[in-house]
Each structure stands twice: as structure tokens, then as C-alpha cells.
Structure 1
Amino acid sequence: MARLPPLSSMEAFLEVARHGTVKAAALELGLSMPALSRRIQTLEHAIGRPLFNRHHHGLSLTEAGRELQGQLWPILDDLRSVIEKASSPDATLRLRLNILPLFAQQRLFPRLPELRRAHPELHIDIETLSHAEARLGDGIDAAITLARSIDPALYAARLDQDKVFPIAARTLDDGERPITVPEQLQRVTILLHREMPETFLEWKKAVGMPWLEPAATDYFDSGPLMLEAAAQGIGVAFMHGHHFDDAHDPRLVRLFDHDVDSPYSYWFVCRPRALRQPAVKLFHDWLLAAKI
């Protein structure tokens, strides 16, 4: 029976395939670039074919590399699950969940006590790092993400469909120079979330003002900080209607009466095989049934 190549070389291959460069993958794994390259070469030698096309601006998968990536990801996912079960022989279920802070604060955490009462065996590790979809199966089991669409290779369940609200400090609405019409956005800064960069673009097209340009645009990677910046009068935040409603902040107001559908939705996302993991399946079923 042929010997398997080292597991470390398989993990190295998947990281390089995910990042597209040896440098980024080496940084992720805490290895030197030569050490990572040697692991890739070990795997290529075992398979007998190159897995990457190497060019001056990075790497791209060969046909053999793409085939191996698709087959290897789920196998390593299952192996991680086996190791986790072996290291936790009690009845505890643990979910590694990536989630945006504002969704967690406004929608998930208020409902977690009922989940804990119903399933005290389930424990959830929370992280809020970006690029969640790329990290599924490698550090996280599932994610609640904000996107226009999801990679069809992943399992995804849409959690909502919302409206876009311009949200501002009450002082901008009833101060000395109140903002009462969209044209006045030309003299203010607008605030956009990095996960929703086209929100204002879609909003201004929907209201029939594609030419409208604000004085400036500031980007945030935190929804709670966006709301606080808007409340402090730093700018007008373009966010979802429930972000405004669930904030219950008397300092904030919705500007204008335009009813504009958001191009973005919250999604529950995981690798298809992850739904076979008890913790993922339990949380998924509860989340959809609870209509959070």
C-alpha cells in the first residue's frame, strides 16, 4: 500500500490554493516561505503532477490541483471533526461561528438564552474576522455573513431581505440646516460598511439620482461603530432598516421616505458536508426555525 503524503503538506496545499500566493499562506500558517514551498513540493512529488502554475504575479491551480482541492477540503473537514470528537468525549457540542458584530449584538445574542435552555450541550465560539467564506472548514464551521450572493459551492440559507435606510443624527434632521431632501447629501460625508460597499450606489439609482455624490465617503468594518459615528453627527450611514429599528437609539433618525430594497442579505453559510456535524446542524435548524 502506497504511503500517504504528510498531512502538513496537504494543509499547506489548501492554504496556498486559498490565498493564491506562498507568502500569504506562509503568514497564515506561521511558516517560512521556503518551508511552505518544500511541503508543496512533497505533495506534488507524491502525486506525480504539478498542482500549481507558477508565474511572476502568483500561483494558479492546474487542472489536477483544482480536482485535488475539491476532493481534499471535505476529507480534511471530516478529519478535523473526528479529532474534535476524540478530544471531547463528553456530550458537549461546540460550534465555531464567524459573525458580524452588529448581527450578533442586535439579533443573535438576545435569542441565545432560549437556545441555551433548549440545548445546554451546545457551546459557541464566536469570532468576527473578515473573509469568513474563505475560512470555512479551516478554523470556523459556519458563518453568518452579509453579501449579495454566495459561492454556489457552499451551502447557504438567506436569513432576511431588508431595505436601505439613510441613518443620521437627529441634529442633522432638525438642526439649523436640516437635511430634508437627498440633494443635500452633497454637503455631508456618507458612511458605508466594507461588507456593503455598493449600498449608496444602489440607493441613489433607485431614487432616480444616479449623479448624486456626497462630500466624502468613509468606510467601516464595524456596524456598531457606524451607528455611533452617525449618532455623533460624523456622517450619514447607509444601513439596513433593522439596523436602525433594533438600535433603539433616540439620537438617530431615518432620513427621507424612499423605500429601497437592499442588494445585500444576511446568510447562514457553511460547507455542505459541515451540515453533517451535530453542532452545525443543531444551530442551523434552530436559527432558521427562530427566524432571527
Structure 2
Amino acid sequence: MPLRLPPLSSLRFFETAARHQSFKLAAAELNVTPGAVSHAIVGLEEALGVALFVREPRRLSLTPEGADYLPYIAQAFALIATGTARLPDARTPRTIAVSCAPTLASRWLLPRLHAFRSRWPNANVAVDTSRRLVNFPGDGFDFAIRLSRKPATGATWHRLFGEQLVPVCSETYRTRLIDGDGNIDLRRATLLHVDSASEDWQAWLDGTHTEGIDASGGLRFDTVQLAYEAAAMDMGVAIGRRPLVDRELASGALVEISKDVIVAGTAYWLVSTKATDQRADLFAFRAWLLEEAATVEDNLCTPGRTSHAT
């Protein structure tokens, strides 16, 4: 059965006029006269059999039917624009669009991008670190890297690597926690929390069966980066998330203060659509990223450490 579609040109007039709440402003954007916009809208309303706008002397507004109709039309045009942008075009270099949390992007993804560019020098990569949810394919992203316990439906998920949780602080602060027997006494510590983390101090305390520590007190931050910076400034003890904290551990800015390591219940996943296989550069990027991720968990398995699964 054929789709019932109004004239696409009229829909374009409707979307623009609804967005501006003005026939005059819509006409300016579309480079036509206000009369042409008004005429097209009247024709669309007649074709649909419903009024889309309330016309008043100095005000234009959507009817309830028009307000309900607008999101569908706006999304349809957005999908058309996204699909058009993804078509092969020798005149315009292709871009690989990646959505990734800011801490993972700065600490793990960006330091490795030069290796991918050395293999694919003509491939452009755009990294978006906003925290908003990604809607495939409407938002125009090719990949999203997400922290999750398991894959979700509606896209293709590839596991990258998990995390290990261990308390970390500066060497100076560590000395303040040593009791008379030479042991670390966490009861003396100011705990540094990350509110956006799904697993933090309580997960480590529960997983290691550590008692006598009040996990509700301390300082709170909205990013892992800020918690690590606070720990490096002798402000307390944070939960280090390997491999994200590996840079500070390697430099000595932070040190581990326990051999008890928790294997986090969440992991980083590479999310994409099946269309990834249809572009050589996207296929290569995914293969390269999985190759890079394969080395991470090997480095996390350090002999002589006590690991606990959450």
C-alpha cells in the first residue's frame, strides 16, 4: 500500500513557519515571499483536512494538531539531512562521528587517535563529549562509547573493556593514613566521591567486605577527572578506575593504597548501527578500536593483587 504523503515542499514551508512562529521569518529563510508561504500552508491544511495554525492579527501559533504534527515532520527532515550527509561524495572528506564521555575521551581515546590516523590519514574523526543520549541514526553519530552492565536493544554492541576499582591518593596523603602498626587506616581518610559514577566507594567497600567506613561523608564531584585532581592535591582518597587512572599511577601523582581490587560490574561498549559495515573507514575504525581495547584488560590483570567481582 503506497504511503500517504503530502507535498514535501509544503511540509518544508510548514516546518520552517512552525519553528519561527512567523510566515515572514519563514519566507526570509526559504527566500520566498510571505504570501507564498501562506499559500503553501493553506494548500497543506486543505490536503490534510485539518488546521495547523491559528492566525491572529499580530500572532501566529500552532493548533494542537499542528503542535502534534511538527515533531514528526522535523524528525523526518533531520533524517533526510543525516542520510544525505552520509552519502559518498568525493568532493567532501568523510567524517567518523564518535560520542564518548569526556573522561574516557581525554584519557583513553584521544591519546590513541594518532595511531588510527597513521593508518587512515584521510579519515576525519569528530569526538563529541556531551552527556546526552545518542539516537541512531537521527543524531548523525557513527559510534557511541558507553558504560553499561550489558548491551541494550536497537543497536550493535561490542564490548571494549571493563574497569578495576581501587582506592588512590597522593603519596603525601597516604602517609597521613598510616597507623601505629604501619597499616593504612581508611577511617582517617576524607572520601572523594563521583556522583555520576554507578559504582564508587560503596561498591568497593561491599566488594572487599570492609567495615567501619562511613561511605556517606566526604567531598563530592560530578566527574572522575575532578576527583583525581582533588586526590592529587592531598584532599582525600578517591576510587581509582583503571585504566582511567593509569596515567596518574604511572607518573606517581597518585598511588594505590590497597591490594584489594574490585572488578566493576559495568564495562565500556562500542555502540553502532549495522550500517557501519557499509563504509570502509567505519569498519576500519571499529576494528582498530577493538584491537586497542583488547590490550587493556591484559594490562589490568596484574599478578599479586587480590581481585573481587561485584
Give the match for residue 189 of structure 1: 191
Alignment of 1:118-133 (within 5 A): 118-133=119-134
Instruction: Report the CA distance shift for 1:210/1:153 in structure 2 as closer, same or farther (over 3 A).
Output: farther
> How much has 1:291 moved relative to structure 2?
2.9
Say whether the 8 Å CA contact 2:192–2:239 is kept in structure 1: yes
> Which amino acid in structure 2 is aligned with residue 90 of structure 1?
R
Alignment of 1:18-167 (within 5 A): 39-42=66-69, 80-85=82-87, 88-90=89-91, 92-134=93-135, 137-167=138-168
Instruction: Report the CA distance shift for 1:209/1:38 in structure 2 as closer, same or farther (over 3 A).
Output: farther
> How much has 1:284 moved relative to structure 2?
1.0
Q: Identity over aligned residues, as a percent?
A: 18
Deviations 1:168-198, CA, capped at 9 Å, x for gaps: 12112113x438446416x41322251x233
Q: Distance in 2 between matches of 1:111 and 1:129?
A: 20
Say whether residues 1:212 and 2:213 are aligned partners. Answer: yes
Secondary structure (helix, strand or coil) at the match of 1:259 reads strand
Deviations 1:104-135, CA, capped at 9 Å, x for gaps: 23322232222112112210111110034457
> How much has 1:40 moved relative to structure 2?
4.9
Of structures 1 and 2, the one scoring higher in RCO (CA 8 A, sep 6+) is 1
Give the match for residue 302 of structure 2: none
Q: Give the TM-score of the pair, scaled to structure 2.
A: 0.64
Instruction: Report the CA distance shift for 1:106/1:83 in structure 2 as closer, same or farther (over 3 A).
Output: closer
> How much has 1:210 moved relative to structure 2?
6.4
Q: Distance in 2 between matches of 1:188 and 1:227?
A: 13
Say whether the 8 Å CA contact 1:96–1:126 is kept in structure 2: yes
Instruction: Report the CA distance shift for 1:90/1:285 in structure 2 as closer, same or farther (over 3 A).
Output: farther
> How much has 1:201 moved relative to structure 2?
2.2
Q: Distance in 2 between matches of 1:168 and 1:36?
A: 59
Q: Distance in 1 between matches of 2:288 and 2:151?
A: 21
Deviations 1:29-83, CA, capped at 9 Å, x for gaps: xxxxx6596555337999xxxxxxxxxxxxxxxxxxxxxxxxx99x975761333
Q: Decide which moves more: 116-125 or 246-255.
A: 246-255
Say whether the 8 Å CA contact 2:199–2:264 is kept in structure 1: no
Secondary structure (helix, strand or coil) at the match of 1:264 reads strand
Give the match for residue 178 of structure 1: 178
Secondary structure (helix, strand or coil) at the match of 1:225 reads helix
Say whether the 8 Å CA contact 1:202–1:263 is kept in structure 2: no
Give the match for residue 198 of structure 1: 199
Say whether the 8 Å CA contact 2:100–2:146 is kept in structure 1: yes
> Which amino acid in structure 2 is aligned with residue 126 of structure 1?
V
Give the one of 248, 251, 254 matched to 1:252. 254
Give the match for residue 32 of structure 2: none
Secondary structure (helix, strand or coil) at the match of 1:159 reads strand
The two structures, once aligned, show a CA RMSD in angstroms of 3.5
> How much has 1:278 moved relative to structure 2?
4.4
> How much has 1:166 moved relative to structure 2?
1.1
Give the match for residue 285 of structure 1: 287
Secondary structure (helix, strand or coil) at the match of 1:269 reads strand
Q: Give the TM-score of the pair, scaled to structure 1.
A: 0.67
Q: Distance in 2 between matches of 1:45 and 1:140?
A: 20
Give the match for residue 229 of structure 1: 230
Secondary structure (helix, strand or coil) at the match of 1:138 reads coil
> Which amino acid in structure 1 is aligned with residue 283 of structure 2?
K
Give the match for residue 262 of structure 1: 264
Say whether the 8 Å CA contact 1:201–1:210 is kept in structure 2: no
Which runs of 5 or more residues in structure 2 are unaligned?
19-60, 295-310
Deviations 1:209-232, CA, capped at 9 Å, x for gaps: 3673232251323x3333212101
